[in-house]
Structure 1
Amino acid sequence: MTVPTEMQPTLDAIERFDRSDCLAEWRRMFGAEPPPYLSVSFMRRVLLWKRQCDLDGDVSSNTWRTLERIADGRRVASHPKPGTELIREWNGRTYRVRVTEHGFEMEGARYRSLSAVAKRITGAHWSGPRFFGLA
């Protein structure tokens, strides 16, 4: 059952809910009983978050998948956006790598992967994301 937005409690009202109000609103918002032993403070925070999602839109499905991976303890790939500058010190020298639309640039040279950049710096095969602290 969807309750019209204008009939849902305001954020200010949720902040003043007592335990019975929280339980009733939880059942209405989620269509299920809340887990046992939740504090009123925690239920208020979850209800506020859910209400904000209802008002402003929920997080993207991609963000949900990433959060689920993190919660399961799985690795999450990090892809820096173009324009990002990665800085790494190696053997007393500082290297600056700029992320571009098609790869990476360092000292005027272009590279297709961070691993290629790491190999250029160290002379050995490295995981580029690990070398730059992204993994």
Structure 2
Amino acid sequence: MWHAQCQRYGGLEPELQRTLRSLAEGKPLRRATGGAPRPGTQLVREWNGRTYRVNVTKDCYVMAGERFKSLSAIARRITGTSWSGPRFFGLNGTARAGT
């Protein structure tokens, strides 16, 4: 069943794969700095000439009236590919420019 899900949905995110590999090798877990954005924050990202605004609420993220459980789901919706949502929105490093 897991293999079928991987084929259909793309498997584990690369960052999670790296984390799991590091833990399996006995390396300490590196924690991200900053944490999740606070409720009330508005994230703005330009992608391919279009501006996207995401409102952070207590239990979800809202973009254009649609609720999402994660920033990665929003980044996937915007780009059509698998992205780290925090990275896409520039929360843990520099987001790459939209092309």
Q: Compute the TM-score of the two structures, normalised by the length of structure 2.
A: 0.60
Shift of 1:87: 0.1
Q: Higher helix proportion, which one?
A: 1
Counterparts of 1:74 and 1:116, CA distance in 2: 21
The CA deviation at 1:81 is: 0.5
Residue deviations 1:37-95 (CA, integer Å, cap 9, x gap) = xxxxxxxxxxxxxxxxxxxxxxxxxxxxxxxxxxxx96414211001000000000000
- Distance in 1 (CA, whole Å) between partners of 2:47 and 2:66 is 18
Instruction: Give the Cα separation in 2 of the matches to 1:98 and 1:77.
Output: 18
5+ long unaligned stretches in structure 1? 1-72
Alignment of 1:10-29 (within 5 A): none
For residues 106 and 128 of structure 1, the distance between their equivalents in structure 2, rounded to whole angstroms, comes to 13
Aligned to 1:103: 60
- List gaps (5 residues or longer) in structure 2: 1-29, 93-99
Once the two structures are superposed, residues 87-117 of structure 1 have per-residue CA deviations (whole angstroms, 9 ceiling, x without a partner) of: 0000000000000111100001000000000
**Superposition RMSD on alpha carbons, in Å?**
1.5
- TM-score by length of structure 1 reads 0.44
2:81 alignment partner, SS class: coil
Structure with higher Rg: it is 1
For residue 133 of structure 1, the aligned residue among 74, 90, 97 is 90
Instruction: List 4+ stretches of structure 1 deviating above 6 A.
Output: none
Sequence identity (%):
62
User: Aligned pair count?
Assistant: 63
